[in-house]
Amino acid sequence: MARLEFWYEFASTYSYPAAMRIEGLAKNASVEVVWRPFLLGPIFKSQGWTTSPFNLYPAKGAYMWRDMERICAGLELPFKRPNSFPQNGLLAARLAVYGLSKGWGAAFSKAVFRSEFGNGYSIDDANLLARLVAQSGGDAEDALRGAVTDANKSALSEATRIAAERGIFGSPSFLTESGELFWGNDRLEQALSWA
Amino acid sequence: MARLEFWYEFASTYSYPAAMRIEGLAKNASVEVVWRPFLLGPIFKSQGWTTSPFNLYPAKGAYMWRDMERICAGLELPFKRPNSFPQNGLLAARLAVYGLSKGWGAAFSKAVFRSEFGNGYSIDDANLLARLVAQSGGDAEDALRGAVTDANKSALSEATRIAAERGIFGSPSFLTESGELFWGNDRLEQALSWA
């Protein structure tokens, strides 16, 4: 079965609908999804950005929030703009990396996005994340320990390094086995048909 | 009949497939297209950019050129990357504004995009533009005079001011009569269904 890598950063708005759509669409296309959490912060920093381009460029930001409303309404996904943006998704990403090695990482990743952009919650809250781990079938205590081991932290750093090396500059990004890169929720279908 | 404004800058790569696709898709959707050339340069400048973000951010640029190849291949549109990017589209935009008042502006706009990204030609060349005016049913001598009158130059500046006022920050952009903004060639279908 063909595989498609789904690269995502938890602070990214458009990664929310992508995360909610990818499994159903991939199943129909007979493509296996490989969930690849990474951090956009270091990549943005290397471009000279200290925050999200949606904050740096207000017209782009205003458009994005309206666009998210429309997209979520169209998909019948709950949407609530969080009070702060972008959020710190470091612990969530470490938990996702750990969870993917334990089998609950995809469910957890969707739960994080739903909490953040469906409910407007703060995803840097360890108590919330512990609850989401448990809801996703993981052991919350074990996960909070496993997420911050040197090995797990390195795995996330390494994923971020690989993302940059592959030419990834935004989230969501989709990478086919042949190295074709697609950027953006609205390119998911095209990425699957290339995969 | 519903109307959809198509805002475009001639230096913009993704505006090429949008310009080639919009009339057929709009006809099927029973939507009237209003062609609105404008200049992105002043809008980019107000964001602190001195050139295209595709040049400022190399990973984004590399992605865009590969993406353009794929998109044009998928649409069976010729594609040739011009030697220089972004090109100076000022005279072309002034001619388009003038041509739209004379009835040949849409055909001319498509011809400019095809020359620039289908053939890789330099669109700041007045001789080339004169030929494209003539091919589009205009009078080239009259057009080159009409494009640079104060009234016509002001009309383009005014369009650029209105674009910024409407929240437009990139090209192609589509604006419905109710004020819904869509950005990007891949949003054309969605914009038409909102129109």
The CATH number of the domain where B93 resides is what? Answer: 3.40.30.10
The shortest C-alpha distance from A107 to chain B (Å) reads 29
**B92 with B117: CB under 8 angstroms?**
no
Half-sphere exposure of B72 (CA within 13 A, CB side): 21
pLDDT value of residue A51: 81
pLDDT at position A52: 83
User: Which residues of chain A make contact with B176, given a CB cutoff of 8 A?
Assistant: none
For residue A43, name the pLDDT band (cuts at 50, 70, 90).
Answer: confident
Give the integer Cα–Cα distance in Å for A17 and A110.
9
pLDDT band per the 50, 70, 90 thresholds, residue B76:
very high
Are the Cβ atoms of B66 and A169 closer than 8 angstroms? no
What confidence score (pLDDT) does residue A49 get?
A: 78
Is the Cβ pair B63, A183 closer than 8 Å? yes
Mean pLDDT of B36-44: 93
Query: A88 Cβ partners below 8 Å, 6+ apart?
Result: A11, A123, A124
Query: Is the four-CA dihedral B101, B107, B110, B116 of positive or negative sign?
Result: negative
Model confidence at B54, in pLDDT bands (50, 70, 90)? confident
Q: Do B63 and A169 touch (CB under 8 A)?
A: yes
Spell out which chain B residues touch chain A, with contact meaning CB-CB distance below 8 angstroms: 43, 47, 56-57, 59-60, 62-63, 66-67, 70, 164, 167-170, 180-184, 186-187
For residue B6, pLDDT over 90 is answered with yes
A47 contacts on B by Cβ (under 8 Å): 56-57
Burial of A50 (0-12, 13-18, 19+ CB in 10 A): exposed
pLDDT at A46 > cutoff 90:
no
Whether A41 contacts A72, CB under 8 Å: no
Structural domain that includes position B113: 2-194
Main-chain phi, psi angles of B179, to 5 degrees? 95, 10
Residue B181 scores a pLDDT above 90? yes
Provide the pLDDT for residue A50. 80
The partner residue sitting opposite B167, judged by closest CB among A62, A180, A181, is A62
3 state SS for chain A: CEEEEEEECCCCCCHHHHHHHHHHHHHHCCEEEEEEECCCHHHHHHCCCCCCHHHHCHHHHHHHHHHHHHHHHHHCCCCCCCCCCCCCCHHHHHHHHHHHHHCCHHHHHHHHHHHHHHCCCCCCCHHHHHHHHHHCCCCHHHHHHHHCCHHHHHHHHHHHHHHHHCCCCCCCEEEECCCCEEECHHHHHHHHHHC
- Contact criterion met (CB < 8 Å) for B186 and A184: yes
- The reported pLDDT for the residue numbered A35 is 98
| Nearest residue to B14 (alpha-carbon basis) of B142, B126, B170, B136 | B170
Q: How confident is the model over A54-88, as pLDDT tens digits?
A: 888 889 999 999 999 999 999 999 999 999 999 99
Sheet of strand B2-8: strand arrangement: B31-37, B2-8, B173-176, B181-183
Reference A56, options A85, A23, A14; nearest CA is: A85
CA nearest to A67 within chain B: B182
Task: Say what the pLDDT of residue B45 is.
Answer: 85
Number of CB pairs, chain A paired with chain B, less than 8 A apart:
45
Which of the residue ranges A25-34, A66-75, B45-54 would you say has the lowest mean pLDDT? B45-54
Give the pLDDT score at A53. Answer: 81
Say which amino acid occupies B151.
A
Interface test with A, best of B165, B169, B186, B189 (most A CBs within 10 A): B169
SS3 of B2, please? strand
- Interchain contact, A63 vs B164, CB within 8 Å: no
Which among A71, A25, A75 is positioned nearest to A195, based on CA atoms?
A25
The count of structural domains within chain B is 1
> Can you give the pLDDT at residue B10?
98
% pLDDT > 90, chain A: 90
Question: With an 8 Å Cβ cutoff, are A59 and B186 in contact?
Answer: no
| pLDDT higher than threshold 90 for residue B44 | no
pLDDT reading at A146 higher than 90? yes
User: In this structure, what are the phi and psi dihedrals at residue A33, rounded to the nearest 5 degrees?
Assistant: -95, 130
Q: Where is pLDDT greater, at A51 or A139?
A: A139
Calculate what percentage of chain A has a pLDDT beyond 70. 100
**Model's pTM, two decimal places?**
0.93
Asked whether A181 and A67 are in contact (CB, 8 A), the reply is no
Residue A59 is nearest to which of B56, B167, B182, comparing CB atoms?
B167
Cα separation, B8 vs B109, whole angstroms: 9
Nearest-angstrom CA–CA distance, A52 and B123: 34
Q: Which amino acid is at B185?
A: N
